[in-house]
Amino acid sequence: MIKKKLKIGIIGAMDEEIAEYIKHTQGCRQKKWHEFVFYQAKLFKQDVIIVKSGIGKVAAAMVCQKLIDEFKVSHIIFTGLAGALNVKYKIGDVVVSNDCLHHDLDARELGFSRGTVPFTDYKYFKAEENLKNLALLTKLPGNKVMAGRILTGDQFLTKSKIKKFKYLTKELKGDVVEMEGAAVAQVCVVNKIPFVVIRTISDKADGKAAQNFNEFLPQAAKNSFKVLGEIISHL
């Protein structure tokens, strides 16, 4: 039996979220599409395409579809930072997606539950089980790697806003909140591409969220890199 050749798409929203990956690549070549730069290289002996999507769901979805259509990736991993909703999580812990959900998609007036894409069966976008399980094998000194539910919306939420968004935990049972994951997950599900979202906790979505996010960004990116390395090395 011939083993299918792998080509893994790696997406991060910010320069700092992909810099650690690019630094460890071999034979890196660049290809530009509009303002997006795709880095084609070897990482942990696997073919990878690394790209910064920019912030938000639309940009992440565009880049994800481009990886599928032009670069013919076999798997997609979204990596980056998130704010903790689950009180058990601390800064530096890594959350691997069980599933992703659009927390800001609300068509309840039409009879759809919050998060449901209207007139479809799409709501919970489940990660590919093998990718998730490989990520969970990672050992991080001083931090935990756990599976959880990732909520996505086009807002950077802080404590003052969280109080107005109690449904994030009460109704949607979210563990972390961020701005791209569910968009990438939805594109992957529609295209039948195995995916997982890896989010390192950079803040607790509280009054210090912006400060913590900026201060912890470099270390959080390194933690995410370790988890991604565990996945790619064992695929």
Q: Give the model confidence (pLDDT) of 132-187 as tens digits.
A: 999 999 999 889 999 999 999 998 876 566 567 789 999 999 999 999 999 999 99
- pLDDT band at residue 224 using 50, 70 and 90 as cut-offs: confident
Tens of pLDDT, residue by residue over 175-187, are 999 999 999 999 9
Rounded to whole angstroms, the Cα distance separating 127 from 129 reads: 6
Mean pLDDT in residue range 1-14: 81
Supply the pLDDT for residue 35.
95
Active-site option among 99, 175, 180, 203:
203
Supply the pLDDT for residue 157.
74
Mean pLDDT in residue range 192-209: 79
Active-site option among 15, 17, 178, 206:
17
Q: Cβ contacts of residue 175 below 8 Å, gap of 6+?
A: 84, 85, 86, 89, 95, 146, 148, 149, 150
In CATH terms, 7-234 corresponds, of 3.40.50.20, 3.40.50.1580, 3.40.640.10, 3.40.50.300, to 3.40.50.1580
pTM for this prediction? 0.91
Read out DSSP for 43-87?
Answer: ETTEEEEEEE--SSHHHHHHHHHHHHHTS--SEEEEEEEEEE-ST
Does the annotation count 203 as an active-site position?
A: yes
